[in-house]
Each structure stands twice: as structure tokens, then as C-alpha cells.
Amino acid sequence: MTAGDAVEAVQRAYRSEYGRTVAILMRTLGGSGNSVVSGSLGDAEDAVQDAFVAAAETWPEQGVPPNPQAWIVTTARRRAIDRIRRMNTAQRHVEQVAHEQQDEQVVSDDADDELRMILLCTHPRLSPESQVALTLRYAGGLTAAEIARAFGTSEATMAQRLSRAKRTIKDARIGLPEPDRIEDRLPVVLAVIYAIYNEGYTTTSGELSRVDLCQEGVRLARLVAAHGRSDLEATGLLALLLLLQARRRARISADGSLVPLPDQDRSAWDQALIAEGQALVRHCLAVNKPGQYQVQAAIQAVHCDAGSDEDTDWTQILALYDMLLTMVPTPAARTARIVALSHVEGPARALAELDATGAPGTTTDAADRYTLAVRADLLGRTGESEAARDVFLRAAELADNEAEREHLLRRAEDVDPAG
């Protein structure tokens, strides 16, 4: 194995083991509800960072250990104990831990450590933005720089956000939760995972998609759905993300352009992911306790069932959006229902209903660009070409993703002058 291979092994271990190792230290060395030294997440993190520095220094020279995960956990535990000894704190506890957890012990066999970390990162005392950032940092193993790039902000700004969030955890003396708290926190946990996936699916910075964020969202959804105390909404979210992920590759052309669903090469869809997602949807339907993620997954399953855009069962999709709106009456869901309505009852009927809902016309809120794009499409389909072009251009001005902006500009150029 070359030095370069060893460096790659360190990087892989960092991504996969960083957050879990922090959780292991907080749980095994800190006592009930505390971390290694003073009850803060940062104390455990310092010891883990020391371990990865040691790995970066020794693995290229001595080779990658047979069990990198165990090496990281053991080294981090030693560094944590050394820190406590140097501070002359909790000496009796340290000696007990050192006796009970010998260095030969590989790693904790507690499979819930990562789930504990997710629950800590989604504590209700934290802002939604902090919840997402912390989850990516500690459950996903992304660096502050990587998270900053994903959200189109500077590394310094993201580092400050993470620091403030960790300070909140420390000041509020928030301990590492037990896995059974998943029942109480599930709505927030699922919302954070969905936000992570969505940010990867249409990132707010430059490129159209961030594969790493999408994959991390799917991985976290699998982890939560597999927990015995999760409910069907966790299964529904996993199904939704799998069905979206199945089409992700076809959504982006070779030159990085956005390919809308009607124009996608359906042979490029990942049939294995579709089969898995649809099986989960069928399971949810059989239990018949619908929730918002289950309904959204069912909508995507209908799209994936269609061999072409013309074969799409828009009547069923419209009915599903009607159901979704009784659960989460969001602007995005209302606009998506308008699209389905246009395929069932025609663009004129859909445009009239969109106007009746007070659709955006002069707003500068970038969140409304999707509604503007739908309005422009409906105007074009009803023969109002000039108005359609103007609204497409307005939507393009609001887009904060370059690929999306270029797509909307092309739509404006392609409007048929004859209607």
C-alpha cells in the first residue's frame, strides 16, 4: 500500500467514523449526559481530531491498521483519557474506564451511536439551519469547508455557525440522547434529512447537484428507518429519497444542464432503486396510516411507473396532491398540484386556479421561482407567448442556481411566438 492509499484511507475513515467516534467518547467516557471533560461536544471532538491527526501521521509510514475504525476509536479514547489526567479531573472515573475498556477492545458494539448523534444534532434548542449543519458535520462527516460549499457560504461563516451551535449545546448542558428519543424527535429528524437531500438535489451554489449530499441523505434515511421505534413516515421518507435518487443521473445532461422530467431518458433511471422505493411505498399503503412523506413517495412512484411522460397517471397524482395538501398546505405542494391539474383538466383551468390562489407576480422571493416557472409554462400552453416569456425571465432572475437559471432562460427563448 502506498502513502497515497493510506491518505485515502484516513479520508474515508474521517467521513464514515468521525461523528460516530465522537458519540462513542461522549457515551463511554463522559458518564450519563456528559461528554469527555466538561459536558461539551467540543471536548469529545478535540480528542477525535487528535486521533485523526495521529492517523494522518502514522498510517502513511506504518501502514493502515487491519481495523481502521477500531484504531481511531482506541486512539481517540487514549487521547481523551490523557486530557482528563492532565486536568486532574475525574481521576477515579478515568482509571475505571481504562480498566474496563482495554485498548484491545475493538469498538463499541452499540449500533445506535450514530443515531444518538443525529438526535443530539437535531435538538429543539437549535435553529433549523444549525440542525442541518451539525448533522452534516457529525453524522455525515463533512468538514466545515464542504458544508459551506454546499450552502454557498464562506467557510468562516459556516465555522461560526457550527461554533455557535456547539456553544448552545454546551451552555444548555444537552447530553447525548438515548435512541428511544427518536419517537419524540422523529418529525424534526426527518425534516433535517429531507433538507440535506434537497440541498444536494438542487444545491444553492453553482452546480446543479451535489452527489455527496444526496447520498448522505439516503444513508441517514436508511439509518433512521431501520430503527425499531421509527414509524411509517421514516419509511416513507426513505422511499421518497430512493425514487428521487433513481432519476437523479438522468436529470443532468452531459454538459451539466437541467433535464426536466418529461425530457429525461427513462432508460437511465436506476431500476434497482425504483424497485426498492416502490416496495416501501406498497408496504406503507398496506398499513394505511398515511403521512406527508408517504404521500410524496407515492407521487414519485406513479411518475416512475410511467414508461413515458404521456403515460403518466396524472389523475392519480392529482388525487395524491389533494391528500398531501390536507397534511402540509405549503406553496410548493399547491403549485405542484396545479401542474397535475393542468394535465387532467387543461392549462386554462389550471391557470385560472393558480390566479385564484394569489400566485406570485411581482414578488422577489426566490422561493417563488418554481411557481413563476409553472405560471409561465401555463401561459405558453394557453397561447399567451409574450406573457410566458416575460414570466420565464422573471423566474430566471430569482434562480440562485446557475443551471436552473440557464434552463429558465432557454425556456424563455423557446416560447413559440405563434402560441
Residues 229-233, mean pLDDT to the nearest whole number = 89
8 A C-beta contact, residue 111 and residue 24:
no
pLDDT exceeds cutoff 80 at 379:
yes
CB-based contacts of 266: which residues, under 8 Å, 6+ apart? Answer: 250, 307, 308
Taken in order 134, 140, 141, 146, the sign of the CA dihedral is negative
| Residue where a domain stops, chosen among 104, 136, 159 | 104
| Residue where a domain stops, chosen among 80, 104, 128 | 104
Residues 313-325, mean pLDDT to the nearest whole number = 98
Structural domain contains residue 177 = no
Give the closest residue to 283 by CA, choosing from 316, 242, 313: 242
pLDDT exceeds cutoff 60 at 37:
no
pLDDT over 70 for what percent of the chain?
86
Residues 95-121, mean pLDDT to the nearest whole number = 63
C-alpha cell, 288: 394505511
CA dist., res. 326 & res. 323, Å (int) = 5
Residue 42's pLDDT band, with cuts at 50, 70 and 90, is confident
pLDDT exceeds cutoff 90 at 15:
no
DSSP category for residue 137: I
Residue 277's pLDDT band, with cuts at 50, 70 and 90, is very high
Domain count, the chain: 2
pLDDT exceeds cutoff 80 at 253:
yes
Structural domain contains residue 330 = no
CB-based contacts of 306: which residues, under 8 Å, 6+ apart? Answer: 312, 313
Residue 353: strand pairing partners = none
Q: What is the DSSP string of 270-333?
A: -HHHHHHHHHHHHHHHHHT---HHHHHHHHHHHHHH-SSGGG--HHHHHHHHHHHHHH---HHH
Alpha helices (runs of H) in 64-181, residue ranges in sequence order: 68-86, 91-100, 113-121, 128-134, 144-150, 155-171
Residues 96-106, mean pLDDT to the nearest whole number = 47
The domain in which residue 354 lies consists of 338-419
Structural domain contains residue 171 = no
C-alpha cell, 28: 463511554
CA dist., res. 337 & res. 318, Å (int) = 6
In this prediction, residue 107 carries a pLDDT of 52
Structural domain contains residue 128 = no
| Residue where a domain stops, chosen among 58, 81, 104 | 104
DSSP category for residue 258: B
pLDDT exceeds cutoff 50 at 103:
no
In this prediction, residue 110 carries a pLDDT of 54
CA distances to 45, 96, 271, 338 from 332, in Å: 39, 55, 27, 10
The one-letter code for the residue type at 3 is A
Of 15-19, 117-121, 294-298, 376-380, the one with minimum mean pLDDT is: 15-19
Residue 99's pLDDT band, with cuts at 50, 70 and 90, is very low
Residue 230's pLDDT band, with cuts at 50, 70 and 90, is confident
Structural domain contains residue 85 = yes
In this prediction, residue 33 carries a pLDDT of 42
Residue 299's pLDDT band, with cuts at 50, 70 and 90, is very high
Structural domain contains residue 296 = no
pLDDT exceeds cutoff 80 at 127:
yes
Of 139-143, 166-170, 201-205, 217-221, the one with minimum mean pLDDT is: 201-205
pLDDT exceeds cutoff 80 at 86:
no
Q: What angle do CA 369, 371, 373 make, to 5 degrees?
A: 70
pLDDT exceeds cutoff 90 at 274:
yes
8 A C-beta contact, residue 119 and residue 179:
yes
Cell 501521521, residue?
Answer: 57
CA distances to 14, 46, 128, 243, 416 from 9, in Å: 8, 20, 33, 31, 55
Give the closest residue to 293 by CA, choosing from 350, 205, 348, 224: 224
The one-letter code for the residue type at 236 is G
Residue 252: strand pairing partners = 258
In this prediction, residue 362 carries a pLDDT of 43
Query: Rounded to a whole number, what is the distance in angstroms from the first to the last CA of the chain?
Result: 64
Structural domain contains residue 96 = yes
pLDDT exceeds cutoff 70 at 209:
no
Structural domain contains residue 286 = no
Of 207-216, 289-298, 307-316, the one with minimum mean pLDDT is: 207-216
pLDDT exceeds cutoff 80 at 311:
yes
Which DSSP helix (H) or strand (E) runs through 246? helix 232-248
8 A C-beta contact, residue 138 and residue 122:
no
Which DSSP helix (H) or strand (E) runs through 125? none
8 A C-beta contact, residue 375 and residue 354:
yes
CA 203 centroid distance within chain: 11
CA dist., res. 107 & res. 13, Å (int) = 14
